[in-house]
Structure 1
Amino acid sequence: MYKILTLNNISPKGLSRFPLDHYEVSSEMREPDAVVVRSFKMHDMALADTVKAIGRAGAGVNNIPVEAMTAQGVVVFNAPGANANAVKELVLAGILLAARHICAAWDYTRGLAGTDAELNKQVEEGKKKFAGFELPGRTLGVLGLGAIGVKVANAARALGMNVLGYDPHMTVDRAWQLDSGVQQAAGIDDLLARSDMVTFHVPLNDATRHLIRADRLRIMKPGAVLLNFAREGIVDEAAVVEALNQGHLRTYVCDFPSNTLQGHPKVIALPHLGASTQEAEENCAIMVADQIRDYLENGNIRHSVNFPDMSLPRAGSSRLTVINSNRPDMVGQISHVLGQNSINIVHMVNESRNGVAYNLIDVEGNLDGEAARGIAAIDGVLKVRVL
């Protein structure tokens, strides 16, 4: 019986992927095999040694101590693309809100009072303050062409916009999905300089923190719109406010309110709604549940942020998984222990990432506790499982 600990309210459709005859799912559990989490901050959380996997029902993993988990041989999964449509739709809403001054116009209208005739007079007098622009012919810059960025770029093309894209790490699969009319920018600065509106869809890490800062804001066209539905720390908020105050930026639309932005008339800050749809929550929960189940039962890894993806059809009488530090002769030592125990390797795959290696080994022979203990005793081995 596998035990699954939930740290947030997880969609029942996702949790239903764990069959009750083999899984116990609870929000209170001392020694779980895996953890499913959404936004709960795990950095100060003490985890039992029994934990083998963590599934983040979403894309970002900033709330999970990934480096520490890697050192302990714990696989961290996420759900890339599962909430992409929800975020895409909110980005499109943000583009339209900024282009037509909808939020400011709505606030203005809600503050009106008087008879219908008086209201109509105030409307006609005030509407000129909210004149906007149409999207066809305008250029949208999309920085980051992963699951969300590609959907945003394609949707903007469908609205008649010119689209510039930039992603030095774009995959072949994403390239196939991208509208052929999307132009490639030479780099970040080129994209910023040529765009009327800019949206970015990149993870928050040391390389992307304050990626949008004062010097890059100065490169942007006067009157440009900046949209942030990725992560708060990617933008230097103080620099954005200064650009808004100077009139260089027209509007900043984001999903991350803060005291720095609060009350600014040119800021539209939403309460982190990016993935807040029923469909997105269900899709994310289903995806990570399936990933955790496949890993616990078969040792296969899909969509891990800290271990290599690896999938191997079952062969042999037993399966062994080994996580170890990526150093010379580890495979040789593992094979030697198996040979000493008269266990024959039928099929074996070894991949490494982030200083650790993962081994999927199908064997014929008596894979008893003695062989597993012998492998676990090898210096550098972090975790051993017999499936």
Structure 2
Amino acid sequence: MGTRAVELRGAGGVPVTAVLELPPGRPAASAVLVSCFACLGQSPGPARLCHALVSRGFAVLRVDFTAPPVGSDGAQTKPDTLPSVDAVVEAAAWLRERYPPARLLVGHSLGGTAAAAALPRLPEVAALALVNAPSGPEPVLERLTALEREAQEGEVSLGPGRLRLAKGFLHDIAAERVAQALGAFPGAVLVLHAPEDRYVSLEHARRLLAAARRPGSLFLLDGADHFLSREADASLAADVLGPWAARHVTPVTEREAPLPPGVVEVHEAGEGSFAQDIRTGRHRLRADEPLSVGGEDSGPTPYGLLLAALGACTAMTLRMYASRKGWPLEHVHVQLSHDKVHAKDCQECETKTRKVDRLKRSVKLVGPLSEEQRAKLTAMADRCPVHQTLESEVDVLTVLED
């Protein structure tokens, strides 16, 4: 996945810094993700939501409305970002000129409210996903002083970051304007909301769904906070968003030509130090390393994928053999582990001077099988193609492309 910074212009021409996330190959669709995640600092939300879309062929332009925190010396490293509906429209326009039009808007917190308010100006949008988004400016107004409410501008602190509100923004996201925009929007609407959100109550999610023109979908992120600060909560939201987006936006996985049989593509994901995006056939996978060695733990390790290949091939081989014989095999469960052992401890090893890889495979066969049938099926595990490949002499040829 490729990543690069993009500078947009929001309300009054104020610069807005955005980040573009690209899938391998040409994007089949585009999305704009508008959020306030940075109020928390290092939330896993943006990365997880982005990957759920990029892994399905979306180009994602990510805009965060949060102003950077001020240092102890009163200085900040980059200019403030002012939340605005114009910034959402500008992000979609930027994508439209360079990639497929933005068919999906994803908005978190006030970013979601702004995305909903922008719908009348973005006829190409086919789906809207909102994460812990208020139905209007009320949660923000409650945190402003009386003078700021009267002036319709001010500053809100929700964590390390801040939200600077320019005059006109609260008017643009007024509850009646958002309701009108949703009422006229013919596309699909998904609302993800944490019932325990202490900034935006669940009632806002109900209002958003009630205002939508067509029946929307509500998914409750039980136990999550406003910023999806826990990895499990961010991953859950991403697991819901990805398939929903692929269903209600152009089915990108079907539009992209699958790779030929036996061909696998691996690209650096651009997230963390080790994450890799894998494409095989018409499928997409993610590989990574655990946090303990500097990875993001966003997917199985390479050895985890190797064990998965052996385990899957084993179960398929046993199922095929039992079906051919007409044996009553109801279920196959395979558990595997990998370790390195000293060659001198391995009776089957030819070398005795170094460590060798040991793959341990435990097979559980469920069903009214005879002892003879169980013994035969256990022996057949060694006949699976991946097992035979691992035990054979393998020639790996590496070429450098221009």
- Would you call these one fold, judging by a TM-score over 0.5? no
TM-score, scaled to structure 1: 0.24
Q: Which has the higher contact order (CA 8 A, sep 6+)?
A: 1
Alignment TM-score, normalising by the size of structure 2: 0.24
